[in-house]
Structure 1
Amino acid sequence: MSTSKEAVGFIGVGMMGQGMASCLLAKGFPLTVMGHRNRKPVEELVAAGATEAKTPKELAGRATIIFLCVTGSAQVEAVLSGPDGIIAGAKPGTIVVDCSTSDPTSTVKLAAMLEEAGLHLCDAPLGGTPAQAGLGQLSTMIGASDEVFARIKPACEAWAQKVTHLGPVGDGHKMKLLNNFLSMGYGAIYAEALTLAQKIGITPQTFNSVLSGSRMDCGFYQTFMKYVLERDREAHKFTLVNALKDVRYLESVANAAGVPNPVGNAVKNVYASAVAGGRGDEYVPMISDWVAEQNGVSLGKKG
């Protein structure tokens, strides 16, 4: 194992995090992980050579770069702060890399707080799926100073095939929210179009025969339709409750910037209605089933 590689900590080894952490191990980074509720990913990573820490403070004592892959800003704040938090255990100069989709306003505030403590925070939200995470094929959009970016780049390249330095802290999260507005917006549009199509006698299969391979095709369309056509729940594992969180964050950013976002608001309400209807733990392509049911049609048997 190369001694030149910085010791890495990883908090949040869930659907995306486990694959990312396994890539770091495969590239020879000394790795300490901390689990949450699900023990299986932690045990698999430990078996592959990782060390387990019980608290963020303990993990911070063993790492100089710490990746966070948690739900959002509230969870990031929780692992940073308090007597058992990262700040309490981190060595001066340690970099915390927030790979979550967080609120940029919170990110900038937390970065200032960490700088006062002699630490650094940068944002590196993700593009891609859990399957791509395990293959090291994610993309990441990073908000960081030039010095911090240079230090984290080798570790990010272990799990991402595209690493883009956008600008200062917060820019990564801003761009990620714009990206997710587009993807969740596509999801809402696909769901409505498929429902209307079914209602007027155009099946999902016929719909796809025209769209697939056309100018309107894209990677997101393909994973979305893999669920619609094949009922493959594994096609795009991103929950509706997380989708709603992201479009709410975007709404907050738009409000703060004084920009009306009527389309964003419409997209938010599609996901909000599904979450309010008890579908929060379902995945994004399954928004199509929710919208179809609201209109008395079915797009296929549930997987």
Structure 2
Amino acid sequence: MTKEHIGFAGLGLMGHGMAKNIVEKGYPLTVTAHRNRAPVEDLLTRGAVEGSLETLASHSTIIFLTLPGSPEVAEAVARMSPHLRPGTVIVDCSTSDPTVTERLAADLAAKGVHFADAPLSRTPKEAWEGTLDCMVGATDEVFARIKPVIATWAGKIVHIGGVGDGHRMKLLNNFLSLGYAAIYAEALALASKVGISTATFDSVIRGGRMDCGFYQTFMGYALDGNREAHRFTLTNAYKDLRYVESMANAATVTTTMASAAKNSFAGAMAQGGAGPEDYVPHLVDFVGRANGVK
């Protein structure tokens, strides 16, 4: 059987580590750069080759996308579409709007091209180590084909259902994690306001029933000052919660909690938290500032 030739677009915080694992575990890999040359140069030293999106489309049998959101995914697919060969699989690992995912899949199916959604969970650290979590929306046949490649960078792979279901589950996952972040930030602001230090707060929560892995990475900044404890931007968090609202609107579900969490991130964005190094744990600063505490 001929080995799959992999294309990869989106070499950001997550994509760089994912692509590194693909090429180091033996798959031919073609990558494309956007703004940051450093990940490309690193991957070239590991055996990857560089090409345009059009080159990815014409030379790859499976193409992975890790882009900021649905508009960028749709733009990339539009550029690749004239050059795609029947039988190619495009795998969207971004956190995207499921309605866009389904539309793209239908458009590509008419060309004999398959589409799958395989969004991620965890952090760039796990991407580099090859131990991400991945939730996949695909037909059984496509899932069986792409799973060995996903396994180069993911330790936990769950086939959620058909196309779009991976993105639906990812939005639910991010609703939980970003909801936690909004609660933690507000709780810490309130604690400070009533005279309870962050260290004292943590001494009660850590190791108890309210502790979890997300809490620990969030507190890596709030308690220890590590600005890179969880490198997921406030901009992407805000975008994801808007997608959650959109999904709920389409399903006629009230979003009492999701909209409250979204508004917490909207407040941070309004205060200037849209920079490339403004990460989710930094929400504590913006919520604190809005309440007159540090």
SS of residue in 1 equivalent to 2:230: coil
Corresponding residue for residue 247 of structure 1: 241
Corresponding residue for residue 40 of structure 2: 42
Match 2:15 to one of 14, 17, 26: 17
Corresponding residue for residue 100 of structure 1: 94
Question: How many pairs were matched up?
Answer: 292
Corresponding residue for residue 291 of structure 2: 295
Report the Cα distance in structure 2 between the residues aligned to 1:175 and 1:166, rounded to whole angstroms.
Answer: 8
What TM-score comes out, normalization by structure 1 length?
A: 0.95
Corresponding residue for residue 55 of structure 2: 58
- Residue 76 (structure 2) pairs with residue 79 (structure 1): yes
Deviation at 1:4, TM superposition (A): 4.5
Report the Cα distance in structure 2 between the residues aligned to 1:93 and 1:113, rounded to whole angstroms.
Answer: 14
- Could you list the structure 1 runs, at least 4 aligned residues long, displaced by more than 2 angstroms after superposition: none
Report the Cα distance in structure 2 between the residues aligned to 1:10 and 1:38, rounded to whole angstroms.
Answer: 14
Report the Cα distance in structure 1 between the residues aligned to 2:140 and 2:95, rounded to whole angstroms.
Answer: 21
Q: Which amino acid aligns with 1:287?
A: L
Corresponding residue for residue 301 of structure 1: none
Deviation at 1:244, TM superposition (A): 0.5
Match 1:283 to one of 260, 279, 282: 279
Deviation at 1:5, TM superposition (A): 2.9
Corresponding residue for residue 114 of structure 1: 108
Report the Cα distance in structure 1 between the residues aligned to 2:82 and 2:129, rounded to whole angstroms.
Answer: 34
Gaps of 5+ in 1: 299-303
Q: Which amino acid aligns with 2:293?
A: V
Corresponding residue for residue 181 of structure 1: 175
Report the Cα distance in structure 1 between the residues aligned to 2:3 and 2:123, rounded to whole angstroms.
Answer: 26
Report the Cα distance in structure 2 between the residues aligned to 1:202 and 1:137, rounded to whole angstroms.
Answer: 37
Q: Deviations for 1:241-291, whole angstroms, at most 9, x for unmatched residues?
A: 100000000101111111111111111111011112111221000000100
Q: Deviations for 1:122-176, whole angstroms, at most 9, x for unmatched residues?
A: 0000001001100001000000000000000000000000010010000000000
SS of residue in 2 equivalent to 1:61: helix
> Which range moved further: 244-253 or 57-66?
57-66
Report the Cα distance in structure 2 between the residues aligned to 1:181 and 1:217, rounded to whole angstroms.
Answer: 18
Corresponding residue for residue 29 of structure 2: 31
Corresponding residue for residue 6 of structure 1: 4
Report the Cα distance in structure 1 between the residues aligned to 2:24 and 2:43, rounded to whole angstroms.
Answer: 11
Report the Cα distance in structure 2 between the residues aligned to 1:32 and 1:171, rounded to whole angstroms.
Answer: 28
Any residues of structure 2 matched to 1:213-292 within 5 Å, and which?
213-281=207-275, 282-292=278-288
Identity over aligned pairs, percent: 56
SS of residue in 2 equivalent to 1:38: coil
Report the Cα distance in structure 1 between the residues aligned to 2:230 and 2:223, rounded to whole angstroms.
Answer: 13
Corresponding residue for residue 161 of structure 1: 155
Deviation at 1:26, TM superposition (A): 1.4
Report the Cα distance in structure 1 between the residues aligned to 2:228 and 2:255, rounded to whole angstroms.
Answer: 32
> Which range moved further: 4-13 or 283-292?
4-13
Deviation at 1:88, TM superposition (A): 1.6
Match 1:196 to one of 190, 193, 197: 190
Report the Cα distance in structure 1 between the residues aligned to 2:36 and 2:91, rounded to whole angstroms.
Answer: 22
Report the Cα distance in structure 2 between the residues aligned to 1:232 and 1:96, rounded to whole angstroms.
Answer: 36
Report the Cα distance in structure 1 between the residues aligned to 2:131 and 2:208, rounded to whole angstroms.
Answer: 25
Any residues of structure 2 matched to 1:205-216 within 5 Å, and which?
205-216=199-210
SS of residue in 2 equivalent to 1:237: coil
Q: Which amino acid aligns with 2:292?
A: G
Q: Which amino acid aligns with 1:151?
A: R
Q: Which amino acid aligns with 2:73?
A: V
Corresponding residue for residue 146 of structure 2: 152
Q: Which amino acid aligns with 2:72?
A: Q
Q: Which amino acid aligns with 2:40?
A: V
Deviation at 1:232, TM superposition (A): 0.8
What TM-score comes out, normalization by structure 2 length?
A: 0.98
